[in-house]
Structure 1
Amino acid sequence: MFTNISAILLCCFAVTSNINTVESAGNQIVPVRFFTQTSSELYIRTLNNLKTFNKHPISIKPAEQEVLSTRNWGTFKDYQFKLKSRDKLEKKAKDIKCTFCLIAKSNISYMKNLVEKLKSGEPLGVNEETVRKFKTEAAIILHLLLLSDLATSKWIWSYYLKIVAISQYDDNKRFIHENPFEDVQLQSGVSDFIENCIAEEYLPKTAIESDLISKKPKIHKNMFHDLRGSGLFFGILGGRAYLGTIEFLYLKPFWDDRNQILFRQIAEVNVDWSNAKKRHKLEVAITREFVENRTWMYKPYGRLDHQHLLVKIIDARFYCCCSVVLHVYEKQLSTRALGGQTLKDIKQLIYKFIQDAMDLTAFKDDFLVVIISEFRFAKISDVNDIRDILTRVRAKANEILIELGVSTKEIDWLSLKLNENQLTSADWITRVITNFKDYFNELKGFFLPFECRVLLHFVDDVKLSIAQYIYF
């Protein structure tokens, strides 16, 4: 979905695995486990140029824009600056969401009245263009946040999906009994968000009563004029559903798992997936009914059990695969079966394998951020570093498998037995890594033409905030 857009995110990681504390300006950071994302200059400028209802506009300075669009950083001081710049970018995104939330609140009143007219027999007719405009604007804001994995919020998705439902009114009208825009969950989500915006001074205290939308119409008009002209939203403006369809968000690609993409056996891992498979089959039946009866129009977040189960299955399979790879690598290190350069090459392959998993899952997992950071800077000469990482990855796999109700005993599921030929062969571990990478590439294919990150944002699993890493 986003691979053809210049604002694709890159990651760089910084960690000092052999130093427990780092001192900066008299403060200690324990331990160093940081990562930052890199966005395109176009993306950063687009956000920065948007005007909002905030009386104290957030401005990202040229030096901050430069460091945010630069993949690498030099000194620790440079990294501090990049963290603070990313924090400002997140605040700017929150500012934009606050302004859009006021716009959405006004639009919800319009949509509520429109639905009543439609139910009384009035055709969509002249209102169709307005509904299309509302839908496009919501899609643009969601897409803007997704491009840099900035928090989206459930209320935006709920608002967007309800507009999608009404934009297809002829297909959905026999399922519409009550008014979808009277949804308490949506109303409270919007109200709570606006109150938070006021409390954090992104909006004035009189934001609701003073009707800023009608008093300052240029804010709304210019915001979307600038966004449409930015070049970041060709797909949405061209009418293509880049945010995902209803069927995608409710996992239709996984309703019929003929290829056993979720439950096929993993080489060298002795796990019985039958209980998880039964749970998934039950969830498919409930989700199918939820979609076919258009229940999602009233309660877009009426049930997420299926999505959460799928995410756990994917996580469990990754950590099982990662345990195998790290186990082989640890044995090759401890037996000194391979030369230093060969081990470095293998380590880079493993690092890329973990990094691909992070990209697939939208950097949602702090544990994985820690692991890849430690692994990246672990010394090849110190097998204990790798052994410690392996122990925690295996424990993480066990934890998720237990949550899934998989019949396994702790650690026993790793059935790998290595012989001398395997330990002395770089080709063998390379094939293992390649096979696992091929599997996750196949898994990505089930999400196409969208991305797994869209689903993770929809279920509100991605809540990155760089502020938690800033101690200086």
Structure 2
Amino acid sequence: MLANIFAFILCCFAITSNIKPIESAGSSSKVTPIQFVNPLYNAWYVYSINRVNTFKEIPIVIEANEENILSKRCNNEEEIQLKIESLGKFENKIQDIQCSFCVITKSNILYLEKLVDKLKSGEPFINYEDTIKRLEEEAKNILQMLMRSNLEIGKWLWIFLLKIVAISQYGDNIIPFIRENPFVDDQLQSGVTSVIEKCMAEKYLPPTAMEYDFISKNISTYHIMIHHLRDTILIHDTFYDRVLAVIEFLYLKPFWHYNTFLFRQIKEVDIDWSETKQRFEHEVVITKRFVENRTWMYKPYGRLDSQLLLVKIIDARIYCYLTVVLHVYEQQLFMLGEQALTDIKDLIINVIAEALNLTAYKDDFLVVLSSELKSGKISDIEHINGILARVRTKANGILNDLNGASSNEIDRLSLNLYEDQLPTYDLLKKIINDFEDYLKEFKSFLPFHYKVFLNFIGVFQYSRLLNRSRLS
């Protein structure tokens, strides 16, 4: 049975305590994700998370063998089952930490609300600078922990962090910059309250967690938890060292004056990007005004149209490239030798893996597609034709959505392929390399991982992730 599992899905779906079936790219049937056989996290991270204190009355304890299995490769079905169970417990531990931090955040919101009023009344910022830096560091640490754990991050945490950064950014200039108190925010306060209530219902927090003096009564647990979190987050990258750069990208500042590569033509296919480009530029103008007016301080989620549009554009380009690659591959199935086909198939699977890695495995369709290519025969014309048809339909669906079409039946892909362009094998390699170069170019344009951006706008699906070892 283990061999059948590996044969069907060598790209290895991740299963979590919140198992969700996903649509197969090839039919209407459901495919339940299977636990990834490779390590999910590094051993130090699992060890450290397991030792973080929380407010939970009965602590979650991950046994030594469970810690070990999360950071090693599985060799048999028994180990896979243990990893599934261990992952469920590990994610419960992460959720437990997040619940405890949410209670801390509730207390900090009240403190910061009063602090801003003091600053607006004329008290010097320097008196509170160290405290604000400490609160910012705590929020960044919990955010990084959740990123590394591939758990979804609630809006409440993003809002809280962005508002702390807003205060720390302006310091003594707070009076002219802050029109009203950013922490008097219904979305933030109600979001935190609803999370705490849910955590209490799920026994992550005690019944007293909503009391105003809960943190002061449990101050030692709070200090130990924050200390453990700080020790756990050993690796800091651009995201955490340059929070302001992150905020600028969350609202697409790098694209305000440069978006050429988003709409560059793919040589082998004609696509009319003009309407999408015009729409994107229109949305960016509105977003730019949203940022420059500092509306983001009060309503961090008040403007996401341009961000959601960007994700669709990147997805469209991925499927357009794949359509071209698979079309040329299908045309040459009976013209190339077995070794050449094998080499090309490996290149295609590798470039899909690059796309999945860039987009944080958010796309179930692409996930299943990778598995089908991996497990299918290299010369099975019906298999490749079926995949090609679905990929082309997917590309057209996104393009039609970008162009405001009510139907997905419009074919917007006009292939420009000529027999005398290049020898077939070289042409295939060139198109695949062009695809890979585009992914690298987009990645190099970002000041941090695309996953962070996807998490912020809420299109990141942790329960469907693959290959967590790359992200931990």
> Is the contact made by 1:131 and 1:163 (CA closer than 8 Å) also made in structure 2?
yes
Q: CA 1:235–1:404 in 2, change beyond 3 Å: closer, same or farther? A: closer
* Aligned residue number for residue 320 of structure 2: 320
Distance 2:179 2:243 in 1: 29
Q: Which runs of 5+ in 2 are unaligned?
A: 11-20, 22-28, 466-472
SS in 1 for 2:139: helix
Q: CA 1:86–1:390 in 2, change beyond 3 Å: closer, same or farther? A: farther
> Is the contact made by 2:376 and 2:383 (CA closer than 8 Å) also made in structure 1?
yes
Corresponding letter in the other structure for 2:125 = L
Distance 1:231 1:246 in 2: 21
Runs of 4 or more above 6 Å deviation: 406-409
Q: CA 1:393–1:78 in 2, change beyond 3 Å: closer, same or farther? A: farther
C-alpha deviation, 1:381, in angstroms: 3.9
Question: Are residue 143 (structure 1) and residue 135 (structure 2) matched?
Answer: no
Distance 1:389 1:60 in 2: 42
Distance 2:205 2:192 in 1: 14
Q: CA 1:17–1:123 in 2, change beyond 3 Å: closer, same or farther? A: closer
C-alpha deviation, 1:199, in angstroms: 1.5
> Is the contact made by 1:15 and 1:33 (CA closer than 8 Å) also made in structure 2?
no
> Is the contact made by 2:399 and 2:412 (CA closer than 8 Å) also made in structure 1?
no
What pairs up with 1:77-156 in 2 under 5 angstroms? Answer: 77-156=78-157
- What's the % identity of the aligned pairs? 47
Corresponding letter in the other structure for 1:180 = P
* Aligned residue number for residue 433 of structure 2: 434
Corresponding letter in the other structure for 1:166 = I
C-alpha deviation, 1:190, in angstroms: 0.5
Corresponding letter in the other structure for 1:306 = S
Q: Which runs of 5+ in 1 are unaligned?
A: 1-12, 19-27, 468-472
Moved more, 159-168 or 208-217: 208-217
Q: Deviations over 1:153-191 (max 9, x none)?
A: 111000000000111233553231221101111111101
Distance 1:185 1:267 in 2: 46
SS in 1 for 2:149: coil
Q: CA 1:171–1:320 in 2, change beyond 3 Å: closer, same or farther? A: farther
* Aligned residue number for residue 371 of structure 1: 369
Distance 1:343 1:373 in 2: 17
SS in 1 for 2:81: helix
What pairs up with 1:189-268 in 2 under 5 angstroms? Answer: 189-209=191-211, 211-230=213-232, 232-234=234-236, 240-241=241-242, 244-257=245-258, 260-268=260-268
> Is the contact made by 2:362 and 2:464 (CA closer than 8 Å) also made in structure 1?
no
Distance 1:85 1:166 in 2: 40
Q: CA 1:180–1:39 in 2, change beyond 3 Å: closer, same or farther? A: same
* Aligned residue number for residue 399 of structure 2: 401
> Is the contact made by 1:135 and 1:163 (CA closer than 8 Å) also made in structure 2?
yes
C-alpha deviation, 1:388, in angstroms: 1.8
C-alpha deviation, 1:263, in angstroms: 0.7
C-alpha deviation, 1:228, in angstroms: 2.2
Distance 1:32 1:414 in 2: 35
Count of residue pairs brought into register by the alignment: 439
SS in 2 for 1:168: helix
Distance 1:279 1:171 in 2: 36
Distance 1:295 1:419 in 2: 55
C-alpha deviation, 1:44, in angstroms: 1.3
C-alpha deviation, 1:243, in angstroms: 8.2
Corresponding letter in the other structure for 1:111 = L
Distance 1:107 1:32 in 2: 41
* Aligned residue number for residue 287 of structure 1: 287
* Aligned residue number for residue 168 of structure 2: 167
What pairs up with 1:385-424 in 2 under 5 angstroms? Answer: 385-405=383-403, 410-417=410-417, 419=419
Moved more, 264-273 or 411-420: 411-420
What pairs up with 1:437-452 in 2 under 5 angstroms? Answer: 437-448=436-447, 450-452=448-450
TM-score relative to the length of structure 2: 0.86
Corresponding letter in the other structure for 1:245 = V
Distance 1:129 1:140 in 2: 16
* Aligned residue number for residue 356 of structure 1: 354
Q: Provide the aligned C-alpha RMSD in A.
A: 2.6
Moved more, 239-248 or 207-216: 239-248
